């Protein structure tokens, strides 16, 4: 049963807000509920690409373990486009908080997600997380803000 694009966009936006809430709470199960089991992720850390399942879960667990308490997480400039059973979203995400060793960090990340409707639910099947890079110096630019 096809839904109208307004309902689909609202559903994807709600799923992104659920993801943000799960990240704030360091809730791995909540995060995993947004992604397809066979997701392909191009994340900040190595390797160049990884898939879903236990590997994906372990990446999220390691990320959450690196933060002392809850994580400040905000989604900005979110755009969603969809057609039929496929959609994509992109935005700028702010992550901040205290690391496990007590340092205060704030990072702006670029996040693009490709979605597919599976069994009536929108799930991320591919994500790409990045930060700008100084190509001459070969280093990430982690202090940029929108």
Q: 23: domain CATH number?
A: 3.10.450.50
Position 28 in a domain: yes
Position 16 in a domain: yes
Position 146 in a domain: no
For residue 93, give the nearest of 116, 118, 75, 77 by alpha carbon. Answer: 75
Three-class DSSP labels, 23-78:
HHHCCHHHHHCCEEEEEEEECCCCCCCECCHHHHHHHHHHHHHCECCCCEEEEEEE
Position 76 in a domain: yes
For residue 125, give the nearest of 30, 35, 23 by alpha carbon. Answer: 35
* Reported confidence tier of residue 15, pLDDT bands at 50, 70, 90: very high
Mean pLDDT of all residues in 97-105: 95
Position 101 in a domain: yes
Position 15 in a domain: yes
Q: Above 90 in pLDDT, residue 5? A: no
Position 145 in a domain: no
For residue 41, give the nearest of 93, 108, 113, 92 by alpha carbon. Answer: 113
pLDDT digits (tens, 9 = 90+) for 23-76: 999 999 999 999 999 999 999 888 899 898 999 999 999 999 999 988 999 999
Instruction: Give me the domain span that covers residue 85.
Output: 5-140
Position 107 in a domain: yes
What's the structural domain count of the chain?
1
Cα separation, 66 vs 71, in Å, equals 10
pLDDT for position 3 = 59
Q: What is the pTM of this model?
A: 0.92
């Amino acid at each position: 049963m096809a839904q109208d694009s307004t309902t689909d966009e609202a559903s994807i936006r709600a799923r992104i807000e659920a993801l943000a809430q799960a990240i704030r709470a360091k809730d791995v199960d909540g995060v995993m509920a947004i992604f397809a089991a066979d997701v392909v992720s191009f994340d900040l850390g190595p390797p160049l690409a990884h898939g879903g399942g236990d590997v994906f879960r372990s990446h999220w667990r390691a990320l959450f373990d690196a933060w002392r308490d809850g994580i400040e997480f905000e989604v900005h400039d979110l755009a969603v486009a969809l057609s039929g059973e496929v959609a994509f979203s992109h935005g700028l995400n702010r992550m901040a908080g205290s690391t496990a060793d007590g340092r205060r960090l704030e990072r702006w990340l670029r996040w693009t997600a490709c979605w597919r409707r599976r069994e009536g639910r929108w799930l991320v099947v591919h994500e790409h997380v990045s930060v700008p890079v100084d190509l001459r110096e070969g280093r990430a630019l982690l202090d940029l803000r929108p």
